[in-house]
Amino acid sequence: MNEDVFNIQVRKFLKKVGIESQRQIERAVRDGIESGALTGSETLKATVQLKVETAGIDHTIEDTIALD
């Protein structure tokens, strides 16, 4: 295994995940506030599941996102 290539590939994957996740959350919150489903003062429970089946990874990350 080439450690440099592996490190770069993992970083690229995490950057993609982070950017796309932020866009999805921001869009959903804005749409929720616009529709009245959210007030903008909630604390949202967020869950991400990381799976890399061939490496035997199935890991869940949970946290909260405060809107105010």
Q: For 1-51, how does the pLDDT look when each residue is reduced to its tens digit (9 = 90+)?
A: 999 999 999 999 999 999 999 999 999 999 999 999 999 999 999 999 999
Q: Which SS3 state, helix, strand or coil, does residue 40 take?
A: coil
Residue 42 CB partners (closer than 8 Å, separation 6+): 67, 68
Q: Is the dihedral of CA 30, 31, 34, 40 positive or negative?
A: negative
pTM listed for this prediction:
0.88
